Structure 1
Amino acid sequence: MALTLRRGRTGDAAVLAAVHVAARRAAPMPDGVHPEHEVRAWLGGRLAQDEVWLAEEAGRTLGYARLTASWLDDLYVLPGAQGAGVGSALLARALARRPEGLCLWVFESNHPARAFYAARGFVELERTDGADNEEREPDVRMAWPGEDPARFWARLHAELADDVRVVTDDLARRARALSRASGRPFSASVQVSGENV
């Protein structure tokens, strides 16, 4: 296979949508919640903003990867091209473009994709019940720590600390509002693994 990779262009939305829909239908994952025409319109917008790479053979698009700042947001390969190195080539390009590391989400039910990423150095960071995705299906956040894992993990720790700070600030604000409304003190402390925060 003479596989070539090229950057996506705004005119690629239709072919990317076809790959996206076909790959999702064939994978052990929830059905997509958007019809192909909506996926095409959405990808048209993403092509203008995100870094997209297409894998082609003889002018035929076999797969694509879409990257944002520190995320691999999409990696889809046509069912007939899976197992031929297309996904590996796209992932290698993504890792080369994000040597500082990146994260991705994969559905818990998509065991082949999870194994694919794990075999290439990705580790599980968290699992969710799917409440925050459109399909409402359990998913797994995975990460590749890049060329400097210590720096990558420190950055993720800082992001987590920022998230915790936002939540605790919100709790404190709500506690103050409850205290003012009720005329009684209200504690905003919460228990996390048996510790007050």
Structure 2
Amino acid sequence: MLTIRPYTTSDREGLVDIWLEASRVGHPFLSEQDLREQKVLVRDVYLPKAENWVAVEAGEPLGFIGLLDCFVGGLFVRPSAHGQGVGRVLIEHAASLKGRLEVEVYALNRGALAFYQRLGFTETGRREKDDQGRPLELVRLARPERA
């Protein structure tokens, strides 16, 4: 049975591994060098800074969501668990805590865009470059608080 629990520092390396596996699948347009650089940021900056929730089944972390207030800073699911509802459960957990949710995803990550749209997110804006200044368009999406 899938459960959601708060992040602990002992989760760090396992979640960074999930992030890397999922990023290789969802962000094939990023180079291995880009991923190595981002991995350090995820481990040393983003995980400690965010409110993180971990999806666990049979004691094994399958995915996690990092929240910065109502902004989804990251949602990553182990590729072997894609399509099993892990991401949906994490989003619904975040919505139960925060209400309205916002997220940014790479425009080239069509799977992520479709996932968020299926969950009721709608586009609110775009920007031409990512946080590292690469010419990779980001799409901003939001989902209103549900009554």
TM-score interval (norm. to shorter): 0.7 to 0.9
Q: In structure 1, how many angstroms separate the alpha carbons of the residues matched to 2:36 and 2:79?
A: 19
| TM-score normalized with structure 1 length | 0.66
Shift of 1:69: 1.4
Q: Which residue of 2 aligns with 1:169?
A: none
Range with bigger deviation, 56-65 or 38-47: 38-47
Q: Which residue of 2 aligns with 1:112?
A: 111
Q: In structure 2, how many angstroms separate the alpha carbons of the residues matched to 1:111 and 1:34?
A: 19
Q: Which residue of 1 aligns with 2:62?
A: 62
Q: In structure 2, how many angstroms separate the alpha carbons of the residues matched to 1:54 and 1:92?
A: 13
Q: Are the counterparts in 1 of residues 50 and 73 from structure 2 also a CA contact under 8 Å?
A: no
Distance 1:49 1:138, change over 3 A: closer
Relative to its length, the structure with more strand (as a share) is 2
Shift of 1:117: 0.6
| TM-score normalized with structure 2 length | 0.87
Q: Are the counterparts in 2 of residues 29 and 107 from structure 1 also a CA contact under 8 Å?
A: no
Per-residue displacement from partner, 1:12-58 (whole Å, max 9, x unpaired)? 1101110001001011553262417x625643544443210111111
Q: 1:133 aligns with which of 115, 131, 135?
A: 131
Taking every aligned residue pair, what percent have the same amino acid on both sides?
31
Q: Which residue of 2 aligns with 1:164?
A: none
Q: Are the counterparts in 2 of residues 13 and 41 from structure 1 also a CA contact under 8 Å?
A: no
The one of the two structures with greater contact order (alpha-carbon pairs below 8 A, sep at least 6) is: 2
Q: Are the counterparts in 2 of residues 65 and 74 from structure 1 also a CA contact under 8 Å?
A: yes
Range with bigger deviation, 51-60 or 16-25: 51-60
Root-mean-square deviation (Å): 2.0
Distance 1:29 1:106, change over 3 A: farther
Per-residue displacement from partner, 1:141-174 (whole Å, max 9, x unpaired)? 00112137xxxxxxxxxxxxxxxxxxxxxxxxxx
Q: Are the counterparts in 2 of residues 77 and 87 from structure 1 also a CA contact under 8 Å?
A: yes
Q: Are the counterparts in 2 of residues 8 and 54 from structure 1 also a CA contact under 8 Å?
A: yes
**Aligned-partner residue type, residue 7 of structure 2:** G
Structure 2 stretches lacking a partner, 5+ long: none
1:35 aligned to 2:36?
A: yes
Q: Are the counterparts in 2 of residues 8 and 47 from structure 1 also a CA contact under 8 Å?
A: no
- The size of the alignment, in residue pairs, is 144
Q: Which residue of 2 aligns with 1:15?
A: 14
